[in-house]
């Protein structure tokens, strides 16, 4: 099914590009983003979006070069300065995250910019030097807010690039900053909900499907929001169970229509979650009501121990991909709305219906097949496009609509 859709969209690739361009005309575009994609062979879709992506160290050299080219194009539309201050997560114990910062710094420096890494930590001296997972040094510089201007030892003006998703409220240090900031702080997880993205994404998928004459269900997971919940006390868990059963019934009808023999399932996800925390897989409302104590604890709080009080119930899409016998899924990276590459997230201890964004995940180069070939080989979309790239374009448009709502 997905192979057929890939062929159909390639036959209409000029129309696809025109439709995407029209949707993005005069719209704000995220400076960078990443998208987790699931493809079970029948349907394929984005299942998570990230506006503050880490993992640049997992991109190939060719993808990093492509990212540099697109940073060079997008940054002047945001700020005319040649200096960039990256504001990272506060933690420095995750050496792979530090490798991401070192790689992101190199990518932007190769675009012709001076790059400084700041720190929101108050407990460091003027500078802090750490080593990443490859043993490379990385210097973080303490920041101060001077009447709305962020400054460090070697930075006093330029673009503020956030690589911190602000699962907790942004520090006072960033209040009333007059510099250019990207992405918008209001799209950090303190404010943003997953439902906001999927509301726009699935509406776009419906319009795109109508325009290109295919069933939009093939690229959009049913997604519903349940608020005011508490897994530790059981508050409104019955509402989640009811929505689960209703969604399973709806999925089964589509499975019957397409003669799919698999058993439907859904993901229940923290509505403001990241790092793969706050996610469980269930096949019925009964599963929700009978969660064991470990599963309930996993849904009590997310990153930074933030209480989970809102979730999405989302149609589950298994993954057909494997790498060295490990379950795998593609993750695509965009800069300025352009796909620059990606990688495979792999987990040897998870099955095809599980979330792979979990401790123990590994990363490898993007698998090269008929769908990913245009991405891996950097083929111009006028010659061939990838269904996964199309999904990333729809994701970019959805984020642009989120940005319009907060700017």
**In terms of domains, do 200 and 172 share one?**
no
- pLDDT: which is higher, 183 or 302: 183
Distances (CA, A) of 137 to 184, 190, 196: 29, 31, 38
Q: Distance between CA 63 and CA 289 in Å, rounded?
A: 45
pLDDT > 80? residue 245: yes
Q: Distance between CA 279 and CA 299 in Å, rounded?
A: 7
Q: Which residues contact 45 (CB under 8 A, 6 or more apart)?
A: 37, 38, 205, 219, 220, 221, 317, 391
Mark residue 278 as left, alpha or beta (left: phi above 0; alpha: psi -120 to 50; beta: remaining).
left
**In terms of domains, do 370 and 262 share one?**
yes
In this prediction, residues 235-254 reach a mean pLDDT of: 97
Tell me, what's the pLDDT at 48?
Answer: 96
**In terms of domains, do 386 and 321 share one?**
yes
Which pTM value belongs to this model?
Answer: 0.96
Tell me, what's the pLDDT at 93?
Answer: 84
Q: Mark which of 187, 214, 249 sits at the end of a domain.
A: 187
Q: Are 15 and 212 in contact (CB under 8 A)?
A: yes
Tell me, what's the pLDDT at 125?
Answer: 86
pLDDT tens, position by position, 380-400: 999 999 999 999 999 999 999
pLDDT > 80? residue 208: yes
The CATH number covering residue 161 comes to 3.40.50.11280
Sign, CA torsion 82/334/331/265:
positive
Q: Distance between CA 346 and CA 361 in Å, rounded?
A: 5
CA-wise closest residue to 239 among 175, 328, 323, 312: 312
Q: What angle do CA 89, 280, 202 make, to 5 degrees?
A: 80
What domain range is 146 assigned to?
60-187
- The half-sphere exposure of 6 on its side-chain side, counting CA atoms within 13 A, is 21
Q: Mark which of 156, 172, 187 sits at the end of a domain.
A: 187
Q: What is the mean pLDDT of the chain?
A: 94
Q: Where are the extended beta strands (E) located within 169-251? A: 181-182, 223-227
In this prediction, residues 7-18 reach a mean pLDDT of: 97
pLDDT tens, position by position, 258-309: 999 999 999 999 998 766 678 999 999 999 999 998 888 889 877 667 789 9
In this prediction, residues 232-255 reach a mean pLDDT of: 96
**In terms of domains, do 195 and 182 share one?**
no
**In terms of domains, do 30 and 168 share one?**
no
pLDDT tens, position by position, 121-177: 888 889 999 999 999 999 999 999 888 889 999 999 999 999 999 888 888 888 788
Tell me, what's the pLDDT at 167?
Answer: 81
**In terms of domains, do 283 and 345 share one?**
yes
Q: Are 118 and 141 in contact (CB under 8 A)?
A: yes
Q: Distance between CA 80 and CA 131 in Å, rounded?
A: 31
pLDDT tens, position by position, 314-366: 999 999 999 999 999 999 999 999 999 999 999 999 999 999 999 999 999 99
**In terms of domains, do 46 and 114 share one?**
no
Q: Distance between CA 89 and CA 86 in Å, rounded?
A: 10
Tell me, what's the pLDDT at 170?
Answer: 84
The SS3 assignment for 130 reads strand
**In terms of domains, do 286 and 368 share one?**
yes
Q: Mark which of 187, 214, 246 sits at the end of a domain.
A: 187
* Total number of domains in the chain: 2
Q: pLDDT category, 224, cuts 50, 70, 90? A: very high
**In terms of domains, do 126 and 252 share one?**
no
Tell me, what's the pLDDT at 107?
Answer: 98
**In terms of domains, do 220 and 306 share one?**
yes
The neighbouring-strand residues paired with 131 are 137
**In terms of domains, do 276 and 369 share one?**
yes
Q: Distance between CA 32 and CA 189 in Å, rounded?
A: 16
Tell me, what's the pLDDT at 406?
Answer: 86
pLDDT > 90? residue 33: yes
**In terms of domains, do 234 and 346 share one?**
yes
């Amino acid at each position: 099914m997905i192979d057929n859709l890939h062929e159909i969209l390639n036959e209409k690739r000029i129309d696809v590009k025109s439709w995407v361009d029209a949707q993005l005309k005069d719209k704000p575009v995220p400076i960078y983003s990443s998208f987790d994609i699931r493809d079970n062979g029948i349907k394929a879709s984005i299942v998570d979006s990230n506006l503050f992506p880490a993992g640049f160290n997992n991109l190939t050299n060719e993808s990093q070069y492509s990212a540099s080219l697109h940073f060079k194009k997008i940054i002047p539309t945001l700020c005319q300065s040649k200096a960039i201050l990256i504001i990272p997560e506060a933690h420095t114990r995750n050496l792979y995250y530090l490798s991401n910062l070192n790689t992101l710094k190199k990518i932007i420096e190769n675009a012709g910019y001076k790059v400084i890494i700041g720190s929101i930590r108050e407990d460091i001296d003027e500078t802090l030097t750490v080593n990443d997972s490859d043993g490379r040094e990385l210097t973080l510089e303490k920041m101060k807010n001077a009447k709305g201007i962020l400054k460090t030892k070697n930075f006093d003006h330029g673009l503020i690039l956030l690589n911190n998703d602000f699962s907790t409220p942004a520090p006072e240090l960033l209040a009333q900053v007059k510099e250019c900031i990207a992405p918008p702080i209001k799209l950090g997880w303190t404010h943003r909900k997953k439902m906001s993205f999927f509301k726009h994404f699935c509406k776009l998928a419906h319009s795109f499907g109508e325009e290109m004459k295919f069933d939009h269900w093939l690229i959009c997971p049913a997604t519903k929001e349940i608020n005011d919940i508490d897994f530790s006390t059981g508050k409104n868990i019955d509402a989640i169970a009811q929505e689960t059963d209703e969604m399973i019934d709806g999925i089964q009808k589509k499975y019957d229509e397409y003669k799919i023999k698999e058993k439907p399932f859904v993901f229940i996800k923290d509505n403001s979650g990241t790092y793969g925390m706050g996610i469980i897989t269930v096949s019925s409302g009964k599963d929700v009501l009978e969660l064991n104590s470990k599963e309930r604890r996993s849904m009590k709080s997310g990153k930074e121990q933030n209480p989970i009080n809102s979730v999405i119930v989302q149609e589950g899409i298994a993954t057909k991909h494997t790498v060295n016998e490990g379950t795998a899924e593609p993750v695509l990276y965009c800069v300025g709305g352009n796909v620059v590459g990606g990688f495979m997230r792999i987990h040897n201890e998870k099955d095809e219906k599980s979330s792979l964004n979990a401790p123990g995940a590994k990363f490898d180069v993007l698998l090269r097949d008929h769908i990913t070939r245009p991405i891996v080989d950097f083929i111009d979309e006028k010659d061939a496009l990838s269904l996964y790239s199309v999904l990333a374009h729809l994701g970019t448009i959805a984020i642009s609509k989120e940005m319009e709502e907060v700017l």
